[in-house]
Structure 1
């Protein structure tokens, strides 16, 4: 396969047969990244390769104008609906037919689910191609989304799979293209594996940064280019690092329309030989979607049932606390009376350190949160401001339960509260009985 990048600049796959293509295309928005990547995709399709493209928004569907074997999964131009769990079905289609696939994840609402889907899809592609082992071109649009430099737990599945393909995909015939307009945000592990790099125009200090941006990449890989050379590039112009050689060129224009710039195009229908496989996959995806809907409905039912059971349990706990209070008070009074010698002729009023049931305010007895009497009793015995953690430690109640009781009794006028603040949220810090 030969890719004609510009007049006088061709890229021959034969020259990279042992190492495969691992291409990085880095340029700001509007500088021609997708056009350059399309030259690879179109040449691969012309040469009989399969192509799989992962995109967060609709752009690559326009390949269908010239290449009817391209199938779009997801997005507004979908031939197949997108849903979590369709990864195996798409890999089956790649293996068993001549189809190429544009995977549009925009129909998956949550970003973390998009990342999980991409990670699973790349992993299944890698596993399946250990057996298939035929040339395929994998293009990752906005690669910094799937392989971010600053990553969290939710990024790990996709990031690890992108890095794996960059390191080992060539052995299986998987040739990778990473496209990004934010080189500082793209993880340097897969990027450092690229044996072909194209730099388009950049203007921002962050993207040019010698710490994480383009200039850091050029220095780390020993590419002799300057910041002035990068900033002087016009739209469509690139500096290529190919076989340890710096080449400046203006990319020729692609055959297919640019999806981001062409509002409406006429897309070719799938060829006859793909209709049966597509119908089969479409039917299986519909079954998968219906199964997922049933699972979600069942999960929702169980969640509602769980909430109802929690409310019933809380009500029983509240009643148990009231019964325990009623049962324990006479024993406490008896214990106190056994230690106090009182003449029979004296006043029948006896002051005890713990509040009698008759002295307990109604809000304490009627509090919906278990432990209200324990909190009230402790504050009755220990005057002054008390920390929530101290009350929790002395009463054996959890800090959260003490806070719920305190908030309730404060609203009912039983307690005075000094409030603290953390992250913009107020919480009770100190509390005492209202005098």
Structure 2
């Protein structure tokens, strides 16, 4: 299979999981070139997601010179389904689960909402994806800037993870920008394929020169290409891949087949109407979205939980005010300091109480579930007068995966694998972190596995039994040790946790003061503490007197 982007240049299928950069001045054909590449990828049956802050990619669905492609349009003025700015993680889960190509139109979002969506989406894609997937990031310098402000570092970290380390997870991508000078150099230099349209600004041509210096050993070719950039016609580009494809060619990119939804309307002319939209099974897709949306039942709310949320909100509010305080502002008064410490102590105490209550409630539910299963195995059928109740029970049982060998769902298998990989067992909180399942779903999986004697409780932790390990079969792999274990977690952790983890590994065996760790990583206190809590739940760090250290287990073996 080849991806034909011009009459005299075709890219191999491996381009789907490689990194490409498309650069050029406004109106010189960047978007059309990206559309041509997207047409080839989707037309070959592969999965693509286009993050579109401009609302210009929806034409992929509609006929132009050729037929449109069955690509879902989420958000924007031509949406098959609406898109919410806080739905980035959910949309990523739907994408990975359904493998349906999508245009994610962010044009109706504010800049802040766009950044939030992109950060959440890319973090979740990096965590979940394992099959070939090509991401298109339009206006890439906005979401992966060379100089990121404090509020943009999570977004930049998520983009960095996908573009620099995503290949092992099947992730490739295309960056589109008219300002390569302000695009993150870490991402630009990772591009194995550079497609550059006309560039005039000296600073942007300098960015291309830096790419040449990083990727090529032939400065003469680079010098000739950069000299010709200001003279390129619309749709004409230099294509260079010195290390991967050994291609260095000036080409005329082929015309797009789909409707040109990015065309600038000319004065005095009416905008062309889109052609027929490709048909897709929207009802099946919406049903699958609804199914995924209801997979995770919300955690039960109670007075104690509401009070803790209020306390956390109050702490976050105070910390935000502190962070926004000008340098010349006076220090906190003793009364304000006492108040902040009292609120923080209250949050910690409330959290401790809730965790103990959660553990106790889970153990009670587990016992009741096991007792009920045993009782049902020995009781006689219910009389006819309880027919309605029996039907309700049968309906509930039908939704539960059968507890027999080889018939477990992904949730039970993920929970069982986590327990088996951690020989000392996993707490409920640790299982939530390791598997990503929320409290109600997590506890249901624990109950089913205990009822089948595949895991057992040892104090407050759950350990896989011999039967549980056997149930996983030959595909089960224990966690590695030593350097391999450290590498495993560096590849698995999301960007925020990984940034702190890397610092702690570098400092081992010395601990790092909690406050200094947060400053070095550039995260606010609340974010830093959340990441450290998750690292602790994974058993990767230990805390001692206000300092944090990488776990000794990471350096054994």
- TM-score normalized with structure 2 length: 0.47
**C-alpha RMSD of matched pairs (Å):** 3.4
Higher mean alpha-carbon deviation, 274-283 vs 245-254, is at: 274-283
Cα 1:266–1:220 shift into 2, 3 Å: same
- In structure 1, the partner of 2:229 is 230
Q: Does 1:159 align with 2:162?
A: no
Aligned counterpart, 2:247: 245
Aligned to 2:285: 277
Structure 1 unaligned blocks of 5 or more: 289-297, 307-387, 399-435
**Partner residue in 1 for 2:127:** 127
Deviations 1:117-161 (A, max 9, x none): 10110111111114xx2x221100111011001211122122111
Q: Describe the SS at the equivalent of 2:11.
A: strand
* Partner of residue 140, structure 1: 137
Q: Deviations over 1:296-351 (max 9, x none)?
A: xx9xxx9xxx9xxxxxxxxxxxxxxxxxxxxxxxxxxxxxxxxxxxxxxxxxxxxx
The answer for the alignment partner of 2:453 in structure 1 is none
Are residues 200 and 284 of structure 1, via their aligned partners in 2, closer, same or farther at CA, if it must alter by over 3 Å?
same
Per the alignment, residue 274 of structure 2 pairs with 265
Q: How does 1:34-49 map to 2 (within 5 A)?
A: 34-49=31-46
Deviation, structure 1 residue 218: 2.4
Q: Is the 8 A contact 2:43 2:69 kept in 1?
A: no
Is the 8 Å Cα contact of residues 3 and 39 (structure 1) preserved in structure 2? no
Over 3 Å counting, the alpha-carbon distance change for 1:284 and 1:127 in structure 2 is closer
C-alpha displacement at 1:247, in angstroms? Answer: 0.9
CA contact (8 A) 1:83 1:285 kept: no
- The answer (yes or no) to whether the contact 2:61–2:71 under 8 Å persists in 1 is yes
Higher strand share: 1
CA contact (8 A) 1:60 1:102 kept: yes
Q: Deviations over 1:393-415 (max 9, x none)?
A: xxx999xxxxxxxxxxxxxxxxx
Tell me which structure has the larger Cα radius of gyration. 1
Gaps of 5+ in 2: 265-270, 297-305, 315-328, 337-557
User: Higher relative contact order at CA 8 Å, sep ≥6: structure 1 or structure 2?
Assistant: 1
- Structure 2 CA distance for aligned equivalents of residues 230 and 179 of structure 1: 17
Q: Indicate if the aligned counterparts of 2:42 and 2:69 stay in contact, CA closer than 8 A.
A: no
Q: Among 245, 254, 259, which residue is 2:256 paired with?
A: 254
- Distance in 2 between residues matched to 1:199 and 1:77, nearest whole Å: 30
Give the SS at the match of 1:162: helix
Preserved contact between residue 25 and residue 197 of structure 1 (Cα < 8 Å):
yes
For normalisation by structure 1, the TM-score amounts to 0.60
Map of 1:280-295 to 2, 5 A cutoff? 281=289
The change in CA–CA distance for 1:266 and 1:9 in structure 2 (over 3 A counts) is closer
1:188 counterpart = 2:185: yes
Map of 1:101 onto structure 2: 102
CA distance in 2, matches of 1:85, 1:397: 37
- Higher-helix-fraction structure: 2
Partner of 1:335: none
